[in-house]
Amino acid sequence: MDTEKIKEVLEEEPEEAVSQLLEDIEDWYGEVPYILNFMKDKPELFIPKVMYDNSIMREFKRLDPKTIEMICIGVSSALRCEHCLKMHIKVARRLGIKKEEIFDAVLIGGTLSNAAVLAEGTRAIDHIFDNGENTCDETCEVCNISDPEKKE
């Protein structure tokens, strides 16, 4: 959204600005995402969010729309956001992205999601075992769950 368009939106009555932005969103995505529909009655939150999102997702000139949608698909997959994922797959399909390419983005998102789980889990294991961390006392049922002698 260019600066002139932003000025136009900000000069309108909030309800009219929300209405125009919703129409623009529906034209682009083919639907209005649930979150934005939920926020539409709060123009003071809705308008800046849509303008910010629009600036990144649709007016970002260094990446083409197909690349942006592929990133959205990978991230939506990694975050396990079913609603975002389905919407971005629909947009990607309308942009002519092939099913196999979309699947590649899902695979990349899955790989990164898996890596994040493993990184967090292994760091937590190392932190507890290697640092000898035990912030609990003898009465902690979690720490003493496998040692019945400590419970008595």
Structure confidence at residue 149 (pLDDT): 56
Give the 3-state secondary structure of the chain. Answer: CCHHHHHHHHHCCHHHHHHHHHHHHHHHHCCCCHHHHHHCCCHHHHHHHHHHHHHHHCCCCCCCHHHHHHHHHHHHHHHCCHHHHHHHHHHHHHCCCCHHHHHHHHHHHHHHHHHHHHHHHHHHHHHHHHCCCCCCCCCCCCCCCCCHHHHC
Tokens read off for 112 = 């990164």
Which residue type does 120 have? E
Q: Per-residue confidence of the chain (152 residues) as pLDDT tens digits?
A: 566 777 787 888 999 999 989 998 898 888 999 999 999 999 999 999 998 888 887 777 788 999 999 999 999 999 999 999 999 999 999 999 999 999 999 999 999 999 999 999 999 898 888 876 666 667 777 666 665 554 45
Structure confidence at residue 9 (pLDDT): 79
Q: How many domains in the chain?
A: 1
Domain, as residue range, for 101: 3-151
What span, in angstroms and rounded, lies between the C-alpha atoms of 65 and 59?
A: 9
Structure confidence at residue 89 (pLDDT): 97
What span, in angstroms and rounded, lies between the C-alpha atoms of 99 and 148?
A: 55
CATH of the domain at 20: 1.20.1290.10
Using CA atoms, how far residue 67 sits from 24, 96, 119, 152, in Å, is: 21, 12, 27, 61
Structure confidence at residue 6 (pLDDT): 73
Tokens read off for 57 = 């997702």
